[in-house]
Homo-oligomer: A and B are copies of this chain.
Amino acid sequence: MKKLWMLLLLFPFLVSAKPQTDTTYRCPPCGNTCDNVSFSKAGTCAHCGMTLVSKQEKDSITAQKKISICFYLYDGVEVLDFAGPMEVFSYAGFNVFTVAKTKAPLTSQGILKINPDYSIADAPPADIFAVFGGDDNVTTNDPEVIAWIKSRDKATQSYFSVCTGAFILGKAGLLDHLQVTTFHRSIANLQSAVPSAKVLSNVRYVDNGRIITTAGISAGIDGALHLVAKLKGKDEAKRIAAHMEYDKYQAEQGLIVR
């Protein structure tokens, strides 16, 4: 009986001596404000749809090296060309940043005024280099930018182009002897610009391993989902497509060159 009284008296101290653990749940990093919210129960985030994880798991994910992707933008870049993939890669947890020739504001689609994160003078390296269509001759006719793209080649694991962004990769000598695609009205022109390549029409994207080129404008969404499927699995690509309500998504709609 004395022992029981002793235990009862010690109870508050025994409880407080238990190590404190954070039992709340968090959204895995997705680049949205829900990154900063904690939840009292397990489940999915109502905002981004990702499965909630413990604080410890989140800290571990955050500590891992994220896949980085450089979005090279220029005056006259087509807005959906880059915005579709930006949406996809953001939800895949990639580190997406924008680069232009200079840090001066640029205009997309004659409408949207954008401040790039970096210029070619200070852009960090990235795992993936992405280019987009529109007035691509602004870039293909700029030897300084083409030389800069070439200079980053050793540090770049892979390339991703949407629409006539393929002309930029072509000018940098990256499409030689590959099967590639571009905007449907530019198939013949790209074939002339890169005679050694085989330019395909009627394909949503072509994946050569290191280099993915997609068809025009909205096809960038499918190409980006394909890249996510390749790097993070098909389930992750399907989750993102469902979250974006891209309900017409068809996996493996492109050509994968092996």
Contact = CB atoms under 8 A, between A and B. Distances in A.
A115 interface: yes
Interface string A228-243: 0000000000000001
Interface in A137-190: 183-186, 189
B244 A80 contact: yes
A86 B110 CA distance: 10
Contact of A218 (B46, B78, B221): B221
A83 B132 CA distance: 14
Contact of A32 (B97, B110, B218, B248): B110
A111 B98 contact: yes
A31 B108 CA distance: 10
A110 B31 contact: yes
A87 interface: yes
A255 interface: no
Given A110-B31, A111-B31, A185-B47, A84 B86 contact: no
Contacts of A86: 79-80, 109, 111-112
Given A90-B110, A114-B114, A216-B245, A32 B134 contact: yes
